[in-house]
């Protein structure tokens, strides 16, 4: 498995576990089928995934900023921290650098949204805008999928749909 595939898989699994498999709790969903314009895209919950050196030190730091543990565990080497609608994933030894993450189909409490844009529709829109897709989602499937892009400054962005 190449580094990008391993990275996307690790983050996808981590957030799936961290949000307690809400897709089973909230199975009803509708996806929008409209042609997407950049201003129309519904990207879902936003979080930043931080690669941390010491999970316990990072947990304490973010708790001092008012964050509480929302998912993950010390034993799994990651924690999902939350303050109001802000989500931060703290990951120890899972990937290099930091990653911006969007979860189409989820709100900031990992609850299923009734209307959202399927990750494959978002991927198609980005392709038409000449944005390079890294580890693309299989557009012949439905349900959980993910893909990544890099912004103009090299920042990784993960689109990770769990429903």
The whole domain housing 94 covers: 1-21+70-163
Residue 46 lies in a domain: no
Identify the residue whose tokens are 């998912």.
71
| Domain assignment of residue 16, yes or no | yes
67: CB partners within 8 A, 6+ apart: 81, 82, 83, 86, 88
**What is the Cα Rg of the chain in Å?**
15
pTM recorded for the entire structure? 0.75
Domain count, the chain: 1
pLDDT in tens, the chain (163 residues): 555 554 445 555 455 444 443 444 444 444 454 555 556 788 999 999 999 999 999 999 999 999 999 999 999 999 999 999 999 999 999 999 999 999 999 999 999 999 999 999 999 999 999 999 999 999 999 999 999 999 998 999 999 999 9
Q: Name the token pair of 13.
A: 């699994």
pLDDT at 19: 45
Tokens 């012949």 belong to residue: 140
Residue 79 pairs in a beta bridge with: 72, 90
Predicted pLDDT at 109: 92
Could you tell me the sign of the dihedral formed by the alpha carbons of 104, 108, 109, 114, in that order?
A: negative
DSSP bridge partners of 89 = 49, 80
Q: Looking at residue 74, which CATH number applies to its domain?
A: 3.30.720.110
E strand or H helix at 91, and its extent?
strand 86-92
């Amino acid at each position: 498995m190449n580094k990008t595939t391993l990275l996307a898989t690790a983050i996808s699994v981590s957030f799936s576990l961290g949000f307690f498999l809400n897709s089973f709790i909230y199975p009803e969903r509708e996806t929008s089928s409209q042609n997407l314009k950049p201003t129309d895209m519904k990207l879902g919950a936003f979080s930043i995934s931080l690669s941390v050196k010491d999970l316990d030190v990072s947990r304490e730091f973010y708790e001092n900023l008012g964050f509480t543990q929302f998912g993950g565990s010390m034993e799994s080497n990651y924690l999902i921290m939350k303050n109001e609608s802000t989500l931060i994933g703290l990951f120890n030894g899972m990937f290099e650098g930091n990653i911006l993450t969007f979860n189409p189909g989820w709100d900031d409490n990992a609850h299923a949204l009734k209307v959202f844009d399927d990750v494959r529709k978002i991927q198609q829109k980005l392709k038409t805008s000449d944005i390079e897709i890294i580890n693309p989602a299989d557009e012949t499937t439905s349900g959980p999928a993910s893909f990544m892009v890099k912004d103009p400054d090299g920042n990784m962005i993960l689109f990770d749909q769990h429903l």
